[in-house]
Amino acid sequence: MRSLTLESVTSLPTNLLWLRAWMRPKVYVGGFIVLTLIVVGISGPIMAPYNPNHQRLERMLQAPQGIGGEHVLGTDNLGRDILSRVIYGARVSLLVAFAVVFISGFVGVGLGAISGYFGGKMDFTIQKLVEVVWAFPPLLLGITIMAFLGQGLFNLILALVAQRWIPYCRVVRGQALSLKTREFVLAAQCLGAGKSRIIIRHLLPNLIQTSMVIGTFAMASAIISEASLSFLGVGVPPEIPTWGTMLADARIYISTAWWLALFPGLCIFITVLGINLLGDALRDLLDPRLKRAGTGL
């Protein structure tokens, strides 16, 4: 049998080159983790054995009892079931991640396409806005917005969106500068197509792939930021269980009740790892240069 070399890989048919990325283990691992998060988030009220805010002080700080026990992952300092709070925390993380990515992508891609295509004063104004907002540290900006607006899920999403549209805008602007000189755009201009039609019908479809990759990694960043703000006490209200709030409550019990911090911390770690693996695989799949180079195998 012939050995598989770089020359033989790069000579594979185009359809096999497209399928190579799906043979990578990180696609299955990352996809399984993200799919599990989505299923748990959607079916949280069905899967959770208890009300996440139900307090039973007589059962406070019970150690994990394992599968078959009354409290599989134990209870916290107020007797609330850890497993139920972890499941409901996945719902908040899922909602925040998708909302932040969707809103940031909509704003960033739109401004980037306008900036790159129109150029001139429009480009100058948008890029100066980018530089001003980008000058603030992300976490400090989020804390400032939450301190001004107050706790709340909508305010938390707004605080996370405040700076996360910038990566979309900068990358899309660079691509729009290149695309507006292509033949298909010049042909549309010669046929009398308006600027808005060219942006919507010709530029944006060619910017979707890159935006999808950016959005995948932005989901992981949004989950970490939400947990950080909730840990600092400026995220969602205390009655909404989140992984960051659970970590904040576990600080004073870290040496006596290890399970309070372990399980929400593991959830954040595994979720971010899965999203990053999926985003990396998606980048390999959608980047034509990586397909030609054979790195998707």
Domain range annotation of the chain? 24-43+75-287
Query: What is the secondary structure of 196-257 as a DSSP string?
Result: HHHIIIIIGGGTHHHHHHHHHHHHHHHHHHHHHHHHTT-SS-TTS--HHHHHHHTGGGTTT-
Q: Residue 164 above 50 pLDDT?
A: yes
pLDDT for the residue 11: 44
Q: pLDDT-based confidence at 180, cuts 50/70/90?
A: confident
Burial of 178 (0-12, 13-18, 19+ CB in 10 A): exposed
Q: pLDDT-based confidence at 43, cuts 50/70/90?
A: confident
Burial of 110 (0-12, 13-18, 19+ CB in 10 A): middle
Q: Residue 275 above 60 pLDDT?
A: yes
Give the C-alpha separation, 86 to 152, whole Å. Answer: 19
Judge: domain 24-43+75-287, CATH 3.90.79.10: no
Give the C-alpha separation, 237 to 199, whole Å. Answer: 41
> Cβ atoms within 10 A of the Cβ of 3, count?
5
Ramachandran quadrant class, 294 (left: phi over 0; alpha: psi -120 to 50; beta: rest)? left
Q: Which amino acid is at 52?
A: P
Helix (H, G, I), strand (E, B) or coil at 81: strand
Task: Tell whether pTM > 0.85.
Answer: no
> According to the per-residue pLDDT averaged within each range, which of 7-11, 13-17, 203-207, 214-218 is highest?
214-218
Cβ(286)–Cβ(220) below 8 Å: no
Q: Residue 119 above 90 pLDDT?
A: no
pLDDT, tens only, 206-259: 788 778 888 888 888 888 888 888 888 888 888 888 888 888 888 888 888 888
Cβ(226)–Cβ(235) below 8 Å: yes
pLDDT for the residue 288: 52
pLDDT for the residue 103: 93
> Cβ atoms within 10 A of the Cβ of 280, count?
18
Among candidate residues 124, 70, 112, 97, the one with its CA nearest the CA of residue 211:
112
Q: Residue 3 above 70 pLDDT?
A: no
pLDDT for the residue 102: 92
Largest CA distance in the chain: 77
pLDDT, tens only, 97-111: 889 999 999 999 888
Ramachandran quadrant class, 176 (left: phi over 0; alpha: psi -120 to 50; beta: rest)? alpha
Average pLDDT of the chain, as a whole number: 81
Structure tokens at 54: 């139900």
Give the C-alpha separation, 11 to 8, whole Å. Answer: 5
H-run or E-run covering 46: helix 44-47
> According to the per-residue pLDDT averaged within each range, which of 16-20, 177-181, 224-228 is highest?
224-228
Q: pLDDT-based confidence at 295, cuts 50/70/90?
A: very low
Q: pLDDT-based confidence at 294, cuts 50/70/90?
A: very low
Give the C-alpha separation, 87 to 24, whole Å. Answer: 29
